[in-house]
Chain A
Amino acid sequence: MVEDKPKQILQNMLNDRESDPTHLLQTLIEVQQAFRYIPHDAIDRLAESLGLGRAFILGVIEFYSFLHLEPRGEYDILLSDNATDQMQGSRLLAELLARQLDVGIGGTRGDYRVSLGYTSCTGMGDQGPAALVNGRAVTRLTSERIDRMVSLIEQAIPLDQWPAELFAVTAGVVRRDIILNSDYSAGAAIRRGLEHGPEALLDLLEQSGLRGCGGAGFSTGKKWRFCAGAEAAEHYVVCNADEGEPGTFKDRYLLQAHADRLFEGMTLCAAVIGARRGFLYLRGEYRYLLETLHKTLQQRRERNLLGHSILGRAGFDFDIEIHLGAGAYICGEESALIESLEGKRGIPRNRPPFPVIQGYRGMPTVVNNVETLANAAMIAQHGPAWFRSVGTAQSPGTKLLSISGDCERPGIYEFPFGTPIGEILAACQAHHTQAVQIGGAAGRLIPPTEFGRTLAFEDLATGGSFMVFNQGRELLKAIDNFTRFFSHESCGFCTPCRVGTAMLVRQLGKVMVGHATTKDLDELATLGTLMRQTSHCGLGLTAANPVLDGLEKFPGIFQARLCSTSFEPSFDLDASLQEARALTGRTDPGAHLEGGGV
C-alpha cells in the first residue's frame, strides 16, 4: 500500500503532466526512483489518468528490467555482467558483496536495506568491473571498493554523500583522428545549414558519404532526405543514445565530452527535415549524465541555438527533450526505440513503413546514433572533402571504437575506416590474442587468421564494440555470456528469437557442463540458422552469431567439451534407414536425418 506521503508525491507527479499515454514510461521511471518499485496504487492512478488498461501498464513494467513490482532495497546494486566484466573478476566481487551484505545475488535483504543482482553491460568496459547503485554508475570495482560500499550501505549513508571517486567515469581517449582532433564551433554547422538551405546541406551530407554509426551503415544524407520529403504535420529527430551493445561505450564518451556537437547535429537535422521537437533517448544506465546534458541544453537555449527563432531565423523553432530508457537492449533498435519513446513496450515495428515515413506518433522521424549526429555537425562545419580525406571509398571518415578486454590500453580509439584489425590490436597493445569480438554480442567473432581484415562497412562493420580475448581465456564462456544476454534481452515478439534464444542457452549449457554430443552441436547450428533466417528484427537475426561463429571458426572449443568426442554409435542411424528409403523409393532430403528430417 502507498502511504499518504508517497500518495501525495505521486499526485504531484501526475499533476505535472498532461494526461498523455506517451508519458507512461517516463512516469513509471520516476515512480520507480521515488518508491523503489511501482506500487499498485500508482498503477491504478496511472491507468485512470492516462486512460490505459492495468494490464497494459503491467505489461510495460514487466518489459523493462529497471522497473519492479516488488520493492527493491534502499541500495539497489546491479553488477554489470558483460564478458569483459567477468574477465575482470566481477563474479567473484558479486559473491564478496553478497557475503558481506548477507544478501543473495538476485535477491533483496529482509530489512530492505539492499538488493543485489546482475545487469547487462553498463557501458563501462574500459573501467570495469562496473555496477549501478540506484542507477548511478560505479566503476573500477575492487575488493577494497566493495568493502567501502558495504560500510557505506551498513551505515545508511545516502548515495549523494558517497565519495565522488566511486562514481568517477574517465574519458580515456587513446587515439584521436580527424573528428576528435578538429575544432568545433557551436552554431557553425547550423549557420551553414541556414545560409545554404536544406537542399545544399543534404547534398553536402551525401557527398561526405556519412553512414549510420550505430552499425547498420545506412546513408545519413539519404535518411534525412527521405524524412524531409515526407509530407506531414510534424517531423521529429531522435538521437539514439541507447548504447546497449555489450562492450560499447564510445557514445558514453561523446555524451560526456561532446554533447554540444550532438545537439548541434540534431538541430541541423531539424533545420533540414523541419522538426520542431527532438528527443535524446538515453539508456537508463547513463542517467548519471542527465545533469550535464540538461546543462548543455540550457546553455544552448541561452545562446539561441535551441528554442524560438534559432540564430535569428524566424520560424526556426526547435527544442530537445531527454527520455530515459529502463534496461532494455532492444530499444536500441530504432523502431523499438520509437515505441519506447511513445511510452510502450519496446517491440520492433513491422517495416515498411520505415520510421522516416511513419515514426514517432506516426510522423516522419529521423533516428540517428550519437556519433552519426555529432559527425554530421562536424561535416557541416568542415566540409565533405575533410571527412573523405580518410577512410575508404565506401566507408569514408573514421569510427570511434570502444576497446576493452585483454589489452594494455583499453579505451576510446578513433580509427579511419579501412584500418586492419591487426593494426588496432597493436595500437591497444593486445598480446597473444585468441580472438576479437567486433560489433558486440551481435557482431562477429574474428580469429587471428582474419586479423588482416579491415574495419569498414564493406568488411567488418561495427557499432563501436571491440572486445579482445587472449589465449588464456575460455572463449566458450564469452559465447555463453553473449547467448544468455540475448535470451535475457529478446523482446519475445517473434517465435524464432523468443524460443530460439532460450533453446540456445539450454543447449549451450549442456555443452558447458560436458554433457553434449556432436548431435547437440548440430542442433545449435540448426537453431542458429533458423533464427538468422526468420527473425523479426536485428536482435533475433544476430543473436546466434556468437554460437554460429564459434562453431565455424573455433570448432575445437566445442569439441573439447563434448562428453565423448570419440563416441560412435554402434550403428549409423541414417544408413540404417537406407532399406526403408529403398522400399519407399524416397530419395528426397527429407528422408535423411541430416537437414531437418521429420
Chain B
Amino acid sequence: MNPSFKIDGVTVPFEAGQSIMEAALAAKIYIPHLCHNPEFHPHGSCRLCCVTADGRSVAACTTPALDGMEVANETHEITTQRRLLLKLLFVEGNHVCPACEKSGACQLQAVAYHCGMLAPEFVHFYPRRAVDASHPETIIDFNRCILCELCVRASREYDKKGVFSIGGRGIQAHLMINSASGKLGDSHFSAADKAARVCPVGAILPKHRGYEVPIGKRLYDQESISQVGDVAAHQERDHGE
C-alpha cells in the first residue's frame, strides 16, 4: 500500500521524498503559500504554509510527508496565524491595492482574501523605496516586494543569470540587482526571462502594458486562489501561448 497522511482529515497519498506541500498540490488540496513555486527549490521563508504536523508547527513546503502523519491546515488557529503573517507583509511594504496594476491577479491579495483579511490591523512602516524603471521592457517596484526570492531563484537556477540577490539584514533586507549601477537596465535581465514571470505580486511588471484585462475580469476576480492556484503558473501559461 502506498504511504499516505491526512490533511484536515482527508487522506493524501504521497511518494517518498515528497513534501507536505507537494503531496497536497498533487491531491489538489490548497495550502496557502507565497514563496513556494513547484518549479523551484522550496524556500520556506514566507511561513504562510505553516501547518501543524502531529502537533508541531512546520512549513509544509520544506517538511517531508510521513506515513500516518496528521496535518492540520485550515483550522481557525492556523488561519488566524496566516492572517497575522499577511498583515505583517502589508506592514513592511507599501501595498496600495486599488492603485496596483497587479490587483486582481496578485497572489498576496488573493491569499489575504482567502484567509479573511479584510482590513489592516497594525501601524504600517511606510518605508521609502525607489522604483527601478531603467529597463526598457520591465519595471521593478520594490514597494511591493515580499522577499519571496522567486525571481532570485528563477534567475539563478533557470535563466542562469543571477540577476537578483538579497542584501541587508533583518527589516533592512532588500532585493538587489546584479549590475555595475545596481539598476535593472544595466543587468543581463530580459523580459523573456523566467524571472520575469514568477513574481507573485506586482514587484516585477512588464512596461508599456497596463490594464489589458480590466479589473473585475482578472484571475482572482473570477475564482478563489484555492481553486485556480498560483498566478505564476498562469503567467507561465500565457507566456507559452
Chain A interface residues (CB < 8 Å from chain B): 53-56, 58-59, 62-63, 328, 345, 350-352, 487-496, 498-503, 506, 523, 526-527, 530, 533-536, 588-590, 595-598
A-B contact pairs, 23 of them (CB 8 A): A53-B162, A55-B167, A55-B182, A59-B167, A62-B172, A63-B169, A487-B170, A492-B147, A493-B173, A494-B44, A498-B92, A498-B170, A498-B171, A498-B173, A499-B88, A499-B91, A499-B171, A501-B170, A530-B84, A530-B88, A535-B47, A588-B76, A590-B76
Determine how close the nearest CB of chain A comes to the CB of B176; give it in whole angstroms: 4
Q: Once bound together, how far apart are the Cα atoms of A526 and B81, in whole Å?
A: 9
Residue picked from A328, A499, A527, most chain B C-beta under 10 Å: A499
| The residue from B62, B88, B121, B182 contacting A500, defined by CB atoms under 8 A apart | B88
Contact flags B79-121 to A (C-beta < 8 A → 1, else 0): 0110111001101100000000000000000000000111101
Contacting residues, chain A, for B29 (C-beta < 8 A): none
Given A54-B179, A62-B168, A498-B173, A352 and B64 contact (CB-CB distance below 8 Å): yes
Q: Which residue of B lies closest to A597 (CB)?
A: B121
B123 in the interface (beta carbon within 8 A): yes
Give every chain A residue within 8 A of B43 (Cβ-Cβ). 350
Whether B122 is near chain A, meaning CB under 8 Å from some CB there, is yes
CB proximity of B46 to chain A, nearest CB, Å: 6
Cβ-defined contact, A487 with B44, below 8 A: no
Residue from A59, A352, A501 with most neighbouring chain B CB atoms (10 Å):
A59
Q: Which residues of B contact A535 (CB under 8 A)?
A: 47
B170 in contact with A58 (CB, 8 Å): no
B42 on the A face (CB < 8 A): yes
Q: Do residues A503 and B170 form an inter-chain contact, with CB atoms below 8 A? A: no
Q: Which residues of B contact A63 (CB under 8 A)?
A: 167-169
Q: How far is the CA of A490 from the CA of B168 in the complex (A)?
A: 10
B166 near A: Cβ within 8 Å?
yes
Query: Which of A350, A494, A501, A503 makes the CB contact (< 8 A) with B122?
Result: A503
B106 to chain A, nearest CB (A): 17
Interface residue? B45 (CB, 8 A) = yes
Q: Shortest Cβ distance from B120 into chain A, in angstroms?
A: 11
Count: A-B pairs, CB below 8 Å: 135
Q: Which of A56, A527, A533, A589 contacts B178 (CB 8 A)?
A: A56
Q: Flag if B117 contacts A598 (CB, 8 Å).
A: yes
**B89 with A495: CB separation less than 8 A:** yes
**Separation in Å of the A569 CB from the closest CB of chain B?**
17
Q: Which of B80, B117, B123, B147 contacts A498 (CB 8 A)?
A: B147
A494 to B147 Cα, complex, angstroms:
9
Give Cα distance in the complex from A494 to B173, angstroms.
Answer: 10
Query: Known contacts A502-B125, A534-B81, A536-B45; is A55 also within 8 Å of B76 by CB?
Result: no
Bound state CA distance, A62 and B171, in angstroms? Answer: 12
| Closest residue on chain A to residue B155 by CB atoms | A53
Write the residues of chain B forming the contact surface with A, with a CB cutoff of 8 angstroms. 42-48, 50, 57, 59, 62, 64, 76, 80-81, 83-85, 88-89, 91-92, 116-119, 121-123, 125, 146-147, 162, 164-173, 176-180, 182
Q: A59-B165, A487-B171, A595-B80 are in contact. List 14 more A-B contacts (CB 8 A).
A: A55-B164, A55-B178, A58-B176, A59-B166, A62-B167, A489-B170, A495-B89, A496-B88, A499-B91, A502-B92, A526-B84, A530-B81, A533-B50, A598-B119
Chain B residues near A55: list those with CB within 8 A. Answer: 162, 164-165, 167, 176-179, 182
Give the residues in chain B near A496, CB-CB below 8 Å.
47, 85, 88
- Residues of B within 8 Å of A530, CB to CB, are 81, 84-85, 88
What separation, in Å, do the CA atoms of A53 and B188 have in the docked complex? 12
* Contacts known (A55-B167, A598-B116, A598-B118); A534 close to B45, Cβ less than 8 A: no
- Chain A residues with Cβ under 8 A from B171's Cβ? 487, 490, 492, 498-499, 501-502
Contacting residues, chain B, for A590 (C-beta < 8 A): 76, 80, 116
Bound-state Cα–Cα, A63 to B176, Å: 13
Whether A536 contacts B122 by the Cβ 8 Å rule is: no
Residue numbers in B under 8 Å from A534 (CB-CB) = 47, 50, 57, 81, 85
Residues of B within 8 A of A500 (CB): 88
For A503, give its contact among B42, B57, B88 (CB under 8 Å): B88
Residues of A with C-beta under 8 A to B89:
495, 499
Q: Report B-chain residues with C-beta under 8 Å of the C-beta of A596.
A: 80, 83-84
A492 touches B170 (CB 8 A): yes
Contacts of A58 in B (CB 8 A): 165, 167, 176
User: In the complex, what distance in Å separates the CA atom of A53 from the CA atom of B47?
Assistant: 28
Contacts A58-B167, A494-B45 given; indicate if A499 touches B92 (C-beta within 8 A).
yes
Among A345, A495, A598, the residue within 8 A (CB) of B47 is A495
For B46, what are the chain A residues with a Cβ–Cβ distance below 8 Å? Answer: 494-495
Q: Which A residues are in CB contact (< 8 Å) with B117?
A: 598
Q: Give Cα A15–Cα B193 distance, bound, in whole angstroms.
A: 36
Q: How far is the CA of A55 from the CA of B178 in the complex (A)?
A: 5
Smallest CB gap from A510: residue in B: B123
Assembly CA distance A345 to B121 (angstroms): 33
Q: Hey, which chain B residues are within 8 Å of A56, CB to CB?
A: 162, 165, 178
Contact check, A533 vs B57: say whether CB atoms are below 8 A apart: yes
Distance A590 CA – B119 CA, assembled complex (angstroms): 14
Q: How far is the CA of A496 from the CA of B81 in the complex (A)?
A: 10
CA gap between A597 and B119 in the complex, in Å: 10
Distance in Å: Cβ of A415 to nearest Cβ of chain B? 32
Q: Which residue of B lies closest to A497 (CB)?
A: B170
